[in-house]
Each structure stands twice: as structure tokens, then as C-alpha cells.
């Protein structure tokens, strides 16, 4: 209430405004916001509308053509029939699961270990090291990890250094030499199962499974963002009071049980925020993949963001690129809109 | 009563096997997190003759500056471009965010929360969904105004300010929400209006928020790739992240130069992190946990 009184005072109306409640007192605030609102209307909503229009248009070459393509929405059918885009959607799904899974596990694990040892003098140093990659750009991360996962060098040298390959050779096995991002294998292919249970799955023109080339990319992304997850959880843990921990201990809970049964359940809102932020990162992952592996063998590490970029700005198939961009936007919106709507409801209460 | 006996040593008060084991895990994790940093610095320090893939884990044989001299020569102008883009974009988006956040926290009106949410959506969209219209818009600006937006750092500053507004507004809004409204009412009784309350009372209190927003925006804009690569085609005018990617993909460049270049490109945000880590952590939490 005090806020609306303030707004009324700023608008120059008398404080006893009950007699003219009809009059809108928010206009000075609205005027201040207006430039940002106009800019948002153009640069976000206007541009999205243009993107959507182009995705429905005939614009397939350098020469702009904004007439609506017949039959309506044909570009989207073309898009989903493309093996490359099918691979992109598969990769997004698999990458998201891998990346979020390991990032949350590692981030939460580190947060628990740091919280458990929080009175140790070196703990701030550990924490800062884990968070450090978050300050770097995905391009730097990609450049460094590209060499670490190079099949000729990097981690593979450790298999020689630690004698694993010699051991394998002594029992007549081939040396361990994973191709990492250059490996075209799609493991655990489930096409047969899909075709049995989902009508239309025959039109899937790719192997649906786990492209192993995505594993190193997910590890690099985890390296960059798990420290952030840790920081979010540590921020949440400071709100769990010592009394709550002590009460759980008096009830006979061991240290691990205090975390598992008391602290982790209390951190559920943090987990939700973390997952939403990581989803938002993984759905639009672009620069890391470009620098680390590119589209990969058989599009094993291709992503919708790269598809849009190359189809639009390199191949100049504008309608197809924009259709893929709209699919990306819908994927992101399906996560973000419920989140924003629930925060809006909370702030209006 | 037996449980009490166990509780006599809460964690941290006495050393235990649990602490020893967990510290070992933390040290192993630290090695993992430092490995890419080691690879970049170690191989960046090697000479062109001594850098080879098979010896990437070996230390350099002599200290002569390695690839750093050439990396710096190749990336210097792009580092300058990045600075010229990041500083104005950070300052402008912070100022706009402060004004917006002030109004949205202290002078709410019916529908202001909804308008703010509609603005915030712009922070979360994949930029692919606006990229082509944005390029066309900037090209039109070039023609209409005669000022070069598309293809220049000016255009990059513009888009970074525009797409930065939602997050700077969010951080300032959450910051100002914690400043007691009574303070503003007292000032109003003394005859201050909305604008003087902002400049005389709120702005001096906002230094911590400006530090947080400044770090957050500096890091985000410095690390951007997609806007830089679509808006600026001329390699001499590109920000350093794009130049580093070009360097890394070029076959004519030695590997030590690429590694040194990665260190050089990472340095500004890394230094900010090292010296301001307290604010950095506050910034990323403020930018991600919605109030």
C-alpha cells in the first residue's frame, strides 16, 4: 500500500486519493519504463514475430521473398524430415540429460563436502577454484577441452602413462584409444523399440540413442557450470540454521543423514532454479560445441543453435533456418514461461 | 542417551576420518578443475619447436614467453575491440537497469509486475530466434541514419544494452526491494519527488548493486560469441572471443599460440573473478535466483 501512496505523491495528487481512485496514478512510473518497454516490444516480440513470418515464407535464397509458402507450414515438415535436424533434437535431449545430470550431482556433491568441512581454513580457496571456470567464456573452455579430448593426445596419453594400454597389450587386447568427439558411434540405439510402440517412428532417419561424442562435450560444459551449481547450493545451505542441523543430530541422524533427509529436501527450490538455468544453457548451447567439436561425425555433436546459424547465414535457406529457430524458442519457452508465470504469481501475492 | 555420546563432537570441532576422506575428494576435484588451466598455461609457455601433442603434459623446457608474444600480437586489437564494446554496454545497461529497477520496486502500478515479466522473457530466449531480424534492423539503421551500426562495435553495444536490460533491471529491482520504503516516505515528507529520491537517496545506496551488475554484465558481454560473430564480419573489428575461435580453427597457427591466446582472452574476466570473487558470487546468485 505504501508504494501506491508514494506513486500518488510523485504524480502530484493529494494523498487522500480514495475519492479519485479511478484516476491512474502509475503514469510517471510507466513513463520511466516506456523506453525499455518499447525496445523490448521491438527487439524481443517484434523480432520473434518476424522470425515466425519468415519461417512460413518462401524466402529460400539470398533474394528476400516474404510471400507465404504453400502449403502452409511446409517448411516445418521439411525441417522435421531432415536427418540433420532429427539428429539435432536427439543431441539436445541427450546432451541436456547428461549435462544437467552430472552438473547437479557434481555441484551438489561439492557443496555438501564444502559445507561439511566449512570450518577448515582452506575451504574458501577450494570453493573459488571450483567456481573459477564460470568466469570464462565457452570459447576458451572449448579450445582447452578440444585438446584434452584429442584422440592423439590429451587424456588418451594417460592410458599409456598409467600402463593401462601395456596391460591390455599383455593380454592381447587392442590399446584403449577412444576417439571422443570424433567417434561417430550411437550407443544404445532404440529405433526398434520406438518403431514398435510409437506410430510414425519409422520416419526417423537417424539412429536414436546416445551419441558417444556428446560425452566429452557434456563433461566440458559440466566443468564450466558445476561450480555455479555448487555456489547456488552453498547459498541455499547458509539459510539452513545450525538449530535445524543440531535438532536432526539429537534425533539420532548421522552426518550423511542430516544432508540426505534434512538439508537436501529443504534445498528443493534451489534445485528447481538450478535445473531451469541449466536447461536454458543446454537448449541454446552453441559456442562451446563450435569451438570444441563442430557438428561432429554424422552430426553426432550438432545442435539446433548451430543448425540455425549455418542454415541461415551460410546456406541462406532463411525460411528453414527460422523454422528451426522457432522450434528452439518453443523448447526454451516450454521451460521458461511456467517459471516466469509462477514467479509472477508469487510477486503479485 | 547413547546418541548424545555420538553428538559430543559436531563437525569441525575435532578432526575425524570423515573430514580426511572428504578433503582428499576435494583435492582430487581441484586437480580436475585446474587441468584445463594447466594445459592452457603450460603449453602456451612452450616454444613453437617444443610444443607437440605427445608432450602436452610435460613442463616447458625453457621460459622464453612461448606463444604469448605472438598470441598477444594477434589478439591485441581484438582485446581492444572487446573493451570498447564491453565498457559502454556495461555502463549503459547498468544505468537503465537501475532506473527501471527503482520504479519496479518502489513505484509499482497495476500491471507493472506483468510488464516486468514480459521484459524478463527477453533474457531467456535463444538469440537464434531474433538474430536475422536483428541483422536486418541494424542494416536498415545503417541506411536510414547513415551511421554504421551493422558491422561495427556500435551495433554490438546497442544489442548488448538492449538484451542486457532485463537482467540488470532484475538485479536492481531485487536490490531496491530490500531498501525500507520508510526511508523514501521520510524523504517524501521533506518534499523530495520521485527523481530526487532516486538521485539523492537510492543511487548513493546502490554502489554494491552497481558492482554486482557491473561484474555480471562485463563477464556476460566479454564472453559473448553469437552477437559478435553475426554482427561483425570484418576480422579486425571483431571481439576477442571470435578472434580466438578463428585462431583455434586456423591451420597456420602453432598450437602454443592458440593456448596462449585462450589465456589472454580469458584474462580480463579471470582477473575480475580473482580480485572480486565475493561480489562475483553475489552477482551470479542475484542474476539467477529470481526474487
Q: Which CATH number do you get for residue B134?
A: 1.10.3720.10
A139–B244 C-beta distance less than 8 A: yes
B222 and A26 in contact by Cβ < 8 A?
A: no
Partner A contacted by B32 (CB < 8 A): yes
In a domain, B60, yes or no: no
Residues of B in Cβ contact (< 8 Å) with A320:
none
Full set of structural domains in chain A with CATH: 1-55 (no CATH), 75-348 (1.10.3720.10)
In a domain, B20, yes or no: yes
Q: Are B88 and B145 members of one domain?
A: yes
The whole-number pLDDT of residue B121 equals: 95
Q: How many CB atoms lie within 10 A of CB B76?
A: 13
Q: What pLDDT was estimated at residue A207?
A: 85
- Assess whether B94 and B168 both reside in one domain: yes
Which 180-239 residues of chain B touch chain A by CB within 8 A? 181-182, 184-185, 188, 193-194, 219, 222-226, 230
Q: How many Cβ atoms from other residues are within 10 Å of residue B255's Cβ?
A: 19
Q: Give the pLDDT score at B288.
A: 54
When scoring A36, A88, A267 by the number of chain B Cβ atoms within 10 A, the one with the most, hence best to mutate, is A36
For chain B, residues with pLDDT lower than 70 are 1-15, 283-291
Task: Please tell me the distance from the alpha carbon of residue A96 to that of residue A116, in angstroms, as a whole number.
Answer: 29
Residues 6+ apart with CB under 8 A from B50: B60, B61, B62
Print the domain residue range for B149.
Answer: 69-288
Which chain A positions have a beta carbon within 8 Å of B188's beta carbon?
Answer: 6, 9-10
Q: Which of A67, A175, A128, A30 is nearest to B272 (CA)?
A: A128
The ipTM (two decimal places) reads 0.89
- Is B12 close to A119, i.e. CB distance below 8 A? yes
Burial class (CB in 10 A: 0-12, 13-18, 19+), A5: middle
Q: How does pLDDT run along chain A (349 residues), one tens digit per residue?
A: 334 333 333 333 334 444 444 566 788 889 999 999 999 999 999 999 999 999 999 999 888 898 999 899 999 999 999 999 999 999 999 999 999 999 999 999 999 999 999 888 889 899 999 999 999 999 999 999 998 998 887 888 887 777 788 888 888 777 778 888 888 888 888 888 888 888 777 778 888 889 999 999 999 999 999 999 999 999 889 888 888 888 988 888 888 889 998 999 999 989 998 999 899 899 999 999 999 998 999 999 999 999 999 999 999 999 999 999 999 999 999 999 999 999 889 877 7
Confirm whether B15 is domain-assigned.
Answer: yes
Asked if A36 contacts B100 with a C-beta cutoff of 8 angstroms, the reply is yes
Q: Does B269 touch chain A (CB under 8 A)?
A: yes
Contact A133 B104 (CB under 8 A): no
> CB-CB: which of A140, A228, A340 is closest to B120?
A340
Domain for residue B139, yes or no?
yes
**How far apart are alpha carbons B113 and B234 in whole angstroms?**
42
Question: Would the CB atoms of B100 and A33 count as touching at under 8 Å?
Answer: yes
Closest CA to A335 of A276, A271, A283, A278: A276
In this structure, are B102 and B161 located in the same domain? yes
Q: Is residue B86 part of a domain?
A: yes
User: Best mutation site among A21, A24, A33 for testing chain B: the one with the most B CBs within 10 Å?
Assistant: A33
Q: B102 and B241 in one domain?
A: yes
B137 and chain A in contact, CB less than 8 A: yes
Domain match, B244 and B154 both: yes
pLDDT computed for residue A23 by the predictor = 61
CA distance B117 to chain A (A): 7
Specify the pTM.
0.88
Q: Say whether both B130 and B184 belong to one domain.
A: yes
Chain B: nearest CA to A85, how far in angstroms? 15
B56 belongs to a structural domain: no
Contact flag A305-B126 (C-beta cutoff 8 Å): yes
B169 and A36 within 8 Å at the Cβ level: the answer is: yes
Same domain, yes or no, for B141 and B176? yes
**CB of B122 closer than 8 Å to CB of B200:** no
B18 shares its domain with B109: no
Whether B113 and B192 share a structural domain = yes
How high is the mean pLDDT of chain B? 88
Q: Pick from A2, A35, A117: which is nearest to B181 by CB?
A: A2
Does residue B175 contact residue B213 with C-beta atoms inside 8 Å? Answer: no
Whether B250 and B186 map to the same domain: the answer is: yes
For residue B225, being part of any structural domain is answered with: yes
The CA angle B20-B26-B29, to the nearest 5 degrees, is 145
For residue A144, give the C-alpha cell. Answer: 582447452
Count: domains in chain B = 2
In this prediction, residue B284 carries a pLDDT of: 65
Residues B26 and B153 in one domain: no
Q: Is residue B184 situated within a structural domain?
A: yes
Cell of B198: 532516486
Q: How far apart are CA B185 and CA B181, in angstroms?
A: 6
Q: Give the pLDDT confidence score for residue A118 in this predicted structure.
A: 86
| B23 contacts A344? CB cut-off 8 A | no
**Are B26 and B96 members of one domain?**
no
- Do residues A56 and A72 lie in contact, with contact meaning Cβ atoms separated by under 8 Å? yes
Burial state string for A143-178 with b = 16 or more CB within 10 A and e = fewer than 16: bbbbbbbbeebbbbbebeeeeebeeeeeeeeeeeeb
Amino acid at each position: 500500500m505504501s508504494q501506491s501512496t508514494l506513486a500518488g505523491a510523485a504524480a502530484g495528487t493529494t494523498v487522500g486519493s480514495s475519492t479519485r481512485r479511478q484516476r491512474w496514478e502509475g503514469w510517471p512510473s510507466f513513463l520511466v519504463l516506456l523506453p525499455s518497454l518499447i525496445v523490448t516490444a521491438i527487439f524481443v516480440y517484434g523480432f520473434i514475430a518476424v522470425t515466425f513470418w519468415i519461417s512460413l515464407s518462401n524466402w529460400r535464397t539470398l533474394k528476400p521473398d516474404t510471400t507465404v509458402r504453400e502449403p502452409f507450414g511446409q517448411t516445418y515438415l521439411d525441417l522435421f524430415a531432415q536427418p540433420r535436424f532429427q539428429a539435432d533434437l536427439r543431441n539436445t535431449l541427450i546432451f541436456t540429460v547428461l549435462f544437467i545430470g552430472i552438473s547437479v550431482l557434481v555441484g551438489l556433491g561439492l557443496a555438501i563436502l564444502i559445507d561439511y568441512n566449512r570450518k577448515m581454513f582452506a575451504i574458501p580457496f577450494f570453493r573459488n577454484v571450483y567456481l573459477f571456470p564460470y568466469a570464462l567464456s565457452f570459447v576458451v573452455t572449448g579450445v582447452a577441452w578440444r585438446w584434452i579430448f584429442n584422440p592423439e593426445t590429451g587424456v588418451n596419453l594417460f592410458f599409456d602413462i598409467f600402463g593401462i594400454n601395456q596391460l591390455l597389450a599383455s593380454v592381447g587386447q587392442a590399446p584403449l584409444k577412444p576417439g571422443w568427439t570424433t567417434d561417430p558411434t550411437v550407443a544404445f540405439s532404440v529405433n526398434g523399440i520406438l518403431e514398435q510402440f510409437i506410430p510414425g517412428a519409422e520416419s526417423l532417419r537417424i539412429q536414436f540413442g546416445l551419441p558417444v561424442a556428446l560425452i566429452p562435450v557434456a563433461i566440458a560444459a559440466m566443468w564450466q557450470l558445476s561450480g555455479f551449481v555448487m555456489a547456488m547450493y552453498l547459498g541455499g545451505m547458509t539459510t539452513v540454521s545450525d538449530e535445524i542441523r543440531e535438532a536432526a543430530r539429537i534425533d539420532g541422524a548421522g552426518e550423511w543423514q542430516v544432508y540426505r533427509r534434512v538439508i537436501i529436501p529443504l534445498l528443493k527450490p534451489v534445485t528447481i532454479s538450478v535445473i531451469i538455468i541449466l536447461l536454458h544453457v543446454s537448449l541454446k548451447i552453441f559456442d562451446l560445441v563450435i569451438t570444441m567439436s563442430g557438428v561432429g561425425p554424422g552430426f553426432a555433436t550438432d545442435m539446433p543453435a548451430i543448425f540455425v546459424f549455418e542454415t541461415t547465414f551460410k546456406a541462406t535457406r532463411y525460411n528453414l533456418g527460422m523454422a528451426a529457430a522457432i522450434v528452439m524458442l518453443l523448447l526454451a519457452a516450454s521451460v521458461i514461461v511456467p517459471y516466469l508465470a509462477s514467479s509472477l504469481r508469487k510477486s503479485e501475492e | 542417551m547413547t546418541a548424545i555420546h555420538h553428538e559430543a563432537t559436531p563437525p569441525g570441532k575435532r578432526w575425524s576420518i570423515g573430514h580426511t576422506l572428504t578433503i582428499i575428494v576435494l583435492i582430487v576435484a581441484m586437480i580436475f578443475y585446474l587441468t584445463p588451466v594447466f594445459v592452457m598455461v603450460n603449453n602456451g609457455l612452450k616454444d613453437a619447436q617444443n610444443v607437440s601433442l605427445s608432450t602436452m603434459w610435460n613442463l616447458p623446457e625453457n621460459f622464453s614467453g612461448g606463444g604469448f608474444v605472438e598470441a598477444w600480437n594477434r589478439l591485441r586489437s581484438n582485446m581492444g575491440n572487446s573493451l570498447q564494446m564491453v565498457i559502454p554496454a556495461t555502463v549503459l545497461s547498468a544505468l537503465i537497469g537501475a532506473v527501471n529497477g527503482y520504479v519496479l520496486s518502489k513505484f509499482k502500478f497495476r500491471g507493472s509486475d506483468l510488464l516486468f515479466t514480459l521484459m524478463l522473457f527477453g533474457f531467456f530466449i535463444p538469440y537464434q530466434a531474433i538474430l536475422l531480424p536483428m541483422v536486418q534492423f541494424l542494416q536498415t539503421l545503417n541506411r536510414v541514419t547513415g551511421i554504421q551500426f551493422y558491422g561495427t562495435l556500435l551495433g554490438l553495444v546497442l544489442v548488448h544494452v538492449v538484451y542486457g536490460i532485463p537482467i540488470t533491471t532484475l538485479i536492481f529491482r531485487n536490490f531496491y526491494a530490500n531498501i525500507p520504503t520508510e526511508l523514501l516516505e521520510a524523504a517524501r515528507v521533506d518534499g523530495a519527488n520521485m527523481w530526487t529520491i532516486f538521485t539523492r537517496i537510492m543511487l548513493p545506496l546502490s554502489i554494491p548493486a552497481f558492482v554486482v551488475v557491473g561484474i555480471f554484465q562485463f563477464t556476460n558481454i566479454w564472453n559473448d560469441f553469437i552477437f559478435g560473430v553475426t554482427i561483425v564480419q570484418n576480422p579486425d573489428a571483431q571481439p576477442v572471443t571470435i578472434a580466438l575461435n578463428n585462431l583455434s580453427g586456423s591451420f597456420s597457427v602453432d598450437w602454443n599460440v592458440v593456448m596462449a591466446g585462450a589465456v589472454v582472452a580469458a584474462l580480463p574476466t579471470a582477473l575480475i573473478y580473482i580480485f572480486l570473487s565475493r561480489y562475483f558470487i553475489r552477482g551470479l546468485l542475484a542474476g539467477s535466483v529470481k526474487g
